[in-house]
Amino acid sequence: MSRVLFTGGQVFDGTGSDRAAGDVVVEDGRIVDVGTGLDGDVSVDCTGLTVLPGFFDCHVHVVMSGVDLLRQLQLPFSYQFYEAARNLRRTLEQGITTVRDAGGADLGIQRAVADGLIPGPRMQISVNVISQTGGHGDDWMPSGQCAGPWIPHPGRPDAIADGPDDMRRVARTLLRAGAQVLKVCTTGGVLSPGDDPRHSQFTPEELQVLVAEARMQGRHVMAHAQGAEGIKNAVRAGIRSIEHGIFLDDEAIELMLEHRTWLVPTLVAPLAVIRAVKAGASLPAEMVRKAEEVAEVHAESVRRAVEAGVRIAMGTDSGVGPHGENLEELPLMQACGLSPAQVLAATTSSSAELLGHGDELGRLAPGYRADLVLVSGDAFDLAALPGGIQQVWRDGVRVIPSTVD
């Protein structure tokens, strides 16, 4: 197979080190060398460009395309799968070559990407969101009807659980359906009409059962966790990552440091809800009020976590907001105290470590899979980064612009 030489540009290796002039050589889908003065059979001119590892988004919902409840009620059931194909393509165009779907995508969507039926980033899926009755993932509405993105179907089993035995059954059902990570709501949330983001959901005993079931199958658990007590319950139970982390307190941060728990902030999510409503989306007033209340305290919580040294990985909650605008999260992370290099490391090597891919993705180093993003301009100008993406390669194949476009 031809050796492809990416030459003449700057290289950001994903570790958080500064950029440096260098070449990258790819063969048979893997990086075989990084350095200067290298050679290859085919050259890609990277003059004026920075070569980075493929980006990650550790919190997406590819079957969601906004938060307009009235629109969701009017769409045919199968429409979500066609929208998912579009959403995956838009995500790939952002340089994101790996995602963790935090609820909604089933095994069929993941396999369609893996088999090349539709273009998109490789996927780690949770299938559905585990919720207690009346919890954040329970789509029951005051009308008595269920409306939302987690409605069960044959590939997306019901994930409402009450009590340790029910939690065990739901965990095993989702794992059987193909989940590579289990997603649980340990607090209320913004986009659920009957709960409060600060209130806890599930008991410590229920969460311990969930983590035990996941570990027996070599899996991890991620937690939608916004209130401090629900965050602490999740961390003590051994859950690997806290999603959102809106109301962190000092004890929660200390526990996360002690347990080396990851934080996936999704800072753009409440902002996306507010924008959607201003653009005409139909949402209950209670959801809008909660989004407005959490936006500012969210950023402050993340700032404190960053200052303390909590491990950060990039995630957006895209699906709540538009797919294809994922990189808007990066300057928001910078505003919370991370340097541009740290933000990009959180979007590459740190996210790879969180998802269990740290030994083969997220860095430009020999032996790693050849996911590359070629960016013009200053790659550390995070606000301008999306407009500078020129090429995206996944496993040594150029996927953006596609060779079949």
Domain count, the chain: 2
- Please check whether residues 307 and 291 belong to one and the same domain: yes
> Would you give the distance in Å from CA 150 to the centre of its chain?
17
pLDDT in tens, 43-89: 999 999 999 999 999 999 999 998 887 788 889 999 999 999 999 99
For residue 222, tell me if it sits in a domain.
yes
Coil/strand/helix, residue 360: coil
Positions in the chain whose pLDDT score sits under 50: none
pLDDT in tens, 144-169: 777 777 789 999 999 999 999 999 99
CA distance 329 to 347: 10
- Please check whether residues 48 and 60 belong to one and the same domain: no
Can you read off the two tokens belonging to residue 5?
């030489």
For residue 80, tell me if it sits in a domain.
yes
- Please check whether residues 154 and 232 belong to one and the same domain: yes
- Please check whether residues 156 and 245 belong to one and the same domain: yes
For residue 179, tell me if it sits in a domain.
yes
- Please check whether residues 212 and 317 belong to one and the same domain: yes
- Name the CA dihedral angle for 233, 295, 352, 99, rounded to a multiple of 10 degrees: 110
Q: If 0-12 CB within 10 Å is exposed, 13-18 middle and 19+ buried, where does residue 11 land?
A: buried
- Please check whether residues 346 and 369 belong to one and the same domain: no
For residue 377, tell me if it sits in a domain.
yes
- CATH of residue 391: 2.30.40.10
- Please check whether residues 168 and 214 belong to one and the same domain: yes
Q: What's residue 404's pLDDT?
A: 60
> Would you give the distance in Å from CA 32 to the centre of its chain?
28
Coil/strand/helix, residue 184: strand
For residue 147, tell me if it sits in a domain.
yes
For residue 180, tell me if it sits in a domain.
yes
CA dist 98 to 95, 118, 126, 361, Å? 9, 14, 14, 9
Q: Is the pTM of this model over 0.85?
A: yes
- CATH of residue 76: 3.20.20.140
Parent domain of 326: 55-354
- Please check whether residues 286 and 381 belong to one and the same domain: no
- Please check whether residues 127 and 199 belong to one and the same domain: yes
Give me the residue label for tokens 């080190």.
17
CA distance 313 to 94: 17
Give me the residue label for tokens 């095994």.
107
- Please check whether residues 264 and 317 belong to one and the same domain: yes
- Please check whether residues 74 and 218 belong to one and the same domain: yes
- Please check whether residues 166 and 17 belong to one and the same domain: no
Q: Under 8 Å CB-to-CB from 11, ≥6 apart: which residues?
A: 19, 20, 21, 22, 23, 24, 34, 50, 51, 364
For residue 405, tell me if it sits in a domain.
no
